[in-house]
Every structure is written in structure tokens, then in C-alpha cells.
């Protein structure tokens, strides 16, 4: 069994956490892995809010996401999709490509035109598209956390509107879509900590042609 598969067998969605802080180098590695996640056309139409402040986590727990991992985690990551994709954000991205690869903006004219097609879609279509890109980044974070020996629990089912209000996301043009708590499992208080992982058999999950 490869080391990666061993780590993925070890990970599970911890229901309780100890509150023990994650070493900064492990957090940095997880965040860098999220940064390196692929996205459609490379645009990364989302932001990740990193919440480490205990008072803020407690407020989020009390008002928007009443799952104990929120306040027991070392850090809470909020994946927030862009509410709108704008011509300015596309121009900024083109400028970043040109700067990073040391090429002219003019040489990217065809790619910029292709990106401009996004602007012809409705805002809701683009928001849903952006949210799907954020989930790809979430997946990278989950795998990176497992490799680092850090527990990570993805969460939906929270009050998105209230969380957006607490974090001032609307003013930033963002809407929360999914959470990821990072920390260490509290095996003594989590009845699933030692449970066997349940997954559909490969012969049922995969369809080959």
C-alpha cells in the first residue's frame, strides 16, 4: 500500500477536535496545496478565509455553524466563491499570467477573449461555476491535511447568509460555499474515531469501458 493511500485510510471527518493548535509549517503546507489546486482556465474564482481567532470561531459556532469542530478546531477555512466574475478580475488574471511568465499582455489576447465568454453567462451560472472550482481546492486541502497528519472535516449545512454577514463577505463580493475545519481528533469524545471506513466497493463505484 502506498504512503498516500495509508494516509487517506487514516483520515476521516472528525466529529470532535481537541483544540490543539496546528504547527504553522503544517498549516502553510495545507494552504499552499490549496493554492496549487487546479481550476477552470486557472482563474481561481474564489477566496479562502482562514479563521484562527478563538472568539471569532465561537461566534461562528453560535450564530452560523453549530458543529463542535468549528470552535474546537485549530483553524477554520471558509471557501467563498466570487459572487460575480468581472472584466476587471479577468484583466487582473491576464496581467498575473504575463508577469509570472514574463510575456506581454498582448500575446494573451486570444486567451483573454476566451475568458471573456464567461461574462456572457448569468451571474448565478457563474457563481455556481465558481463554487464548483472552490470544491476542487477543498479536495486538495483534504488530501494535504491527511499527508500532514492533520484532521480535516468538510462541512456544509451551515447558515451561509449569517456566516457571510459575520465575515463581511458580501462587501468583498464573496459568498461562502463550504467549510473545512483543521485540527486534531478528540478520540475520547468522538465515537467514530476508531470506526472502520465505509466506502462502496471499487467494482460498484467505477464503470470501465
How many structural domains compose the chain? 1
Alpha-carbon Rg for the chain in angstroms: 19
Task: Answer yes or no: is pLDDT of 109 > 90.
Answer: yes
Burial profile 58-73: b = 16 or more Cβ within 10 angstroms, e = fewer: ebbbeebbebbbbbbb
30 occurs within a structural domain: yes
104 occurs within a structural domain: no
pLDDT at 91: 96
Per cent of the chain over pLDDT 70 is: 100
The whole domain housing 48 covers 3-91+119-205
Question: Any idea what the CATH number is for the domain that residue 74 is in?
Answer: 3.40.109.10
pLDDT at 71: 97
109 occurs within a structural domain: no
107 occurs within a structural domain: no
**Could you report the per-residue pLDDT of 5-49, keeping only the tens digit for each?**
999 999 999 999 999 999 999 999 999 999 999 999 999 999 999
Choice between 194 and 51, residue whose per-residue pLDDT is larger: 51
Is residue 192 within 8 Å of residue 12, measured between CB atoms? yes
pLDDT at 1: 77
Mean predicted lDDT score pLDDT of the chain? 97
43 occurs within a structural domain: yes
Q: What pTM was estimated for this model as a whole?
A: 0.96
pLDDT average, residue stretch 130-139: 98
100 occurs within a structural domain: no
47 occurs within a structural domain: yes
**Could you report the per-residue pLDDT of 160-203, keeping only the tens digit for each?**
999 999 999 999 999 999 999 999 999 999 999 989 999 999 99
164 occurs within a structural domain: yes
Binned at pLDDT 50, 70 and 90, residue 205 comes out as: very high
Amino acid at each position: 500500500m502506498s504512503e498516500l493511500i495509508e494516509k487517506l485510510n487514516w483520515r476521516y471527518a472528525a466529529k470532535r477536535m481537541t483544540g490543539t493548535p496546528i504547527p504553522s509549517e503544517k498549516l502553510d503546507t495545507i494552504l499552499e496545496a490549496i493554492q496549487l489546486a487546479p481550476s477552470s482556465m486557472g482563474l481561481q474564482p474564489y477566496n479562502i478565509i482562514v479563521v484562527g481567532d478563538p472568539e471569532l470561531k465561537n461566534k461562528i459556532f453560535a450564530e452560523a455553524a453549530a458543529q463542535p469542530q468549528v470552535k474546537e478546531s485549530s483553524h477554520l477555512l471558509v471557501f467563498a466563491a466570487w459572487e460575480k466574475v468581472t472584466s476587471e478580475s479577468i484583466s487582473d488574471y491576464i496581467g498575473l499570467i504575463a508577469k509570472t511568465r514574463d510575456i506581454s499582455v498582448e500575446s494573451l489576447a486570444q486567451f483573454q477573449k476566451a475568458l471573456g465568454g464567461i461574462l456572457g453567462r448569468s451571474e448565478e451560472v457563474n457563481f455556481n461555476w465558481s463554487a464548483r472550482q472552490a470544491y476542487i481546492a477543498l479536495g486538495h486541502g483534504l488530501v494535504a491535511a491527511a499527508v500532514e497528519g492533520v484532521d480535516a472535516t468538510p462541512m456544509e449545512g451551515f447558515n451561509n447568509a449569517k456566516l457571510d454577514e459575520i465575515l463581511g463577505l458580501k462587501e468583498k463580493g464573496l459568498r461562502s460555499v463550504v467549510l473545512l475545519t483543521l485540527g486534531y481528533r478528540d478520540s475520547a469524545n468522538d465515537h467514530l474515531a476508531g470506526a472502520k471506513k465505509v466506502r462502496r466497493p471499487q467494482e460498484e463505484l467505477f464503470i470501465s469501458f
